[in-house]
Amino acid sequence: MILAFRKFMQPPPPSQIPKMNLKLEQSFLSLILTVLMLIRIPSYSSQNDSQYQTCSQPFQCGSLREIGYPFWGGNRPVSCGYPGFQINCQSNIPLLNISSTFYRVLNVDKTTRTLRIAREDLWDTICPTLFFNTTLNFSLFDFSSAANDQNITLYYGCGTNQLPPGTPVPFQFSCNVNGVNTLNFYTTAEASGQGNGVTCSSNIYVPVNRRAARDLTNLETASANLLPDALRSGFTIQWSANNDNCNGCARSGGLCGYNEGTTAFACYCTDRVHEFTCDDSRPGNGSRKVLSDLQMYVIIGVSLGIAGLVISSIIIFYIRKQFKLQEADQKSKQNIDKFLLSHGSLAPKRYNYREIKKITNSFAEKLGKGGYGIVYKGKLPNGQLVAVKVLTETDNNTEEFINEVASISRTSHVNIVNLLGFCYDRKKRVLVYEYMPNKSLDKFICKSGSIDPGCQLDWETLYGIAVGIARGLEYLHRGCNTRIVHFDIKPQNILLDEEFCPKISDFGLAKLFKKKQSIISMLGARGTVGYIAPEVFSRNFGAVSHKSDVYSYGMMLLEMAGARNFDKIEAIQSSEDYFPDKIYEHVALKNEKLDDLMTEEQEETARKMLLVGLWCIQTAPSDRPAMTKVVEMLEGSLESIKIPPKPFLSSPKLSGPQFSSSVSVDVDIEI
């Protein structure tokens, strides 16, 4: 039994998959056709009922088409509609009488059971002969709350005797009654306070479209000329005429109507008149009822069968996925064991997750959060402070985790962060680094206009950090046994110890290759917008190589020096122009001081960092210096640095938010 189940769970050979898919599609299509045929089996019935034929003819008048129940009139008798819903078609104008008032029908929405109507006595004139409010028969109609219409009040025959002289009356309109022009005005609910103190002989309430009401009282659009259009825009009402019964009748294939003899709802079907639906159990309808039950049983059975197949498929998919996850987990464990065996005593210490929780005091103090995990502060049993990086739990970051452990384990340099240990416990992946009390470099890069004294570094310290990072990258590219390209150099990945000595960290995206290797497959390379070299996005700019790190370093160097609050660069950063372009114009093309408050030595340091940064961000990788040359330029004199060409294409602006971007490419690594 178990062996048979395991055999069933194994994936089929590739050659059988198309045949299996074809058989499955044919079976499913046959099942659907069978269900449709059963549903569409014709019912046993007598010849078509005359009422059904009569009520099949829709009411038409003017722009209204295909109007059915509950409306009647013209060629539709009252039995096809409902009392109180007669539409009189006069000169192609549909009129509906509600509570002895005629309304012009502008639109009928059968889906929402709503009407848009307008008062006929106010259609051609705003000065009616009779003054009465807009009322409805609330047993059949009600105002639509969804339409959000608004009442306007029309005041007629008004006097201003009680108003102070010169007081204006707002929103006036003219009416000629018996040859006499009277004072009239209107207000809305939103302008209800207007006209206080004015006495009038008559007033009426009329609902109108909310937008039209707003236009009437808007100081920019208010005009008596808009009043007729507002009244003609109408308002929306809902109807109620045995709505639930009609729904059931329509679903069964019948037409809704009204029994004049019993004053009850009627459902007209092709065989005869039914009380509610065409498939009710009435005398003479037994054969149809039996057939309907059969259809229902078939539909229920087929539905249960399909549901069973779906549930079974989900269970099988889940079990097979678990098998694959276990296989991948076992493979990852083998890779970890192989890594530990190959490094011997030089491998970092491996912790279990329980030890990690103890080191971090159950993750009590968070130092920061990045795109790939959260960093916590911890303490080893010997009292040494550490930074514990807990990677985000996913099913596909095992290779990235092993890559970072392997990368840092192969390095030993004062400007490379020291990996003290790691934890791999199923989906729990943790890295333990030496603790950097000054955290990361981005905390000390002041943005334009910043007044925070904590982010200020003197030029000597800033220069030392730049040189240290350059030496660390030079070591990664040339100095260690296995060459490493970092691919994610940015201020957030530069840590600073208590003496502001920089240390490159976060090797999750790094690529390792042998010294003689010139081609490397880089699938899923990622970086941060603003620091990614152009060739990473397009091979048209050249091959991806260690020069990609040089580009990222150059952008970071420009940010370090350009973010200082001296006047020229501050003006550059606050503009919409591209940051490096403006730096090039001010530093390389103009011989003027960057800041009048800077000493000569500080001016030289700043210019040196900016010029080196411009060299590093050259568009073509071949035009960028190697990190060895970068260190040489930084440690040399300003006069020895030539003016670089102006870069014609680079990454997006640095001053905005930074996001991780994924790029999948196969690239050549030039050494």
CA–CA dist 216, 451 (Å, integer) = 52
CA–CA dist 158, 195 (Å, integer) = 10
Contact 405, 332 (CB under 8 A): no
646 is in an annotated binding site: no
CA–CA dist 560, 571 (Å, integer) = 16
Q: How crowded is residue 663: how many other Cβ atoms within 10 Å of its Cβ?
A: 17
Phi-psi region of 92 (alpha: psi -120 to 50; beta: other; left: phi over 0): left
**178: which 2 tokens?**
């018996």
In the 3-class helix/strand/coil scheme, how is 437-492 assigned residue by residue?
Answer: CCCEHHHHCCCCCCCCHHHCCCHHHHHHHHHHHHHHHHHHHHHCCCEEECCCCCHH
Give burial (CB, 10 Å; 0-12/13-18/19+) of 586: middle
Q: How crowded is residue 589: how many other Cβ atoms within 10 Å of its Cβ?
A: 9
**Residue type, position 251, single letter:** R
Catalytic: 581?
Answer: no
Give burial (CB, 10 Å; 0-12/13-18/19+) of 329: middle
Q: How crowded is residue 440: how many other Cβ atoms within 10 Å of its Cβ?
A: 23
> What 3-state class would DSSP assign to 256?
strand
**177: which 2 tokens?**
């009654």
Marked catalytic residue, from 149, 271, 279, 488: 488
Cis peptide before 70 (omega within 30 of 0): yes
CA distances from 561 to 470, 471, 592, 601 (A): 15, 18, 16, 14
**Residue type, position 66, single letter:** E
Which of 419, 414, 516, 420 lies closest to 468 in space, CA to CA?
A: 414
Cβ neighbours for 474, distance < 8 A, ≥ 6 positions apart: 626, 627, 628, 630, 631
Cβ neighbours for 173, distance < 8 A, ≥ 6 positions apart: 126, 184, 185, 186, 224, 227
CA distances from 461 to 27, 332, 540, 557 (A): 75, 43, 38, 13
Main-chain phi, psi angles of 152, to 5 degrees: -115, 150
Helices of type H across 475-537: 534-537
The enclosing H or E element of 373 equals strand 373-379
CA–CA dist 363, 668 (Å, integer) = 42
CA–CA dist 641, 612 (Å, integer) = 8
Catalytic residues: 488
Residues annotated within a binding site: 389
Residues annotated within a binding site for ATP: 389
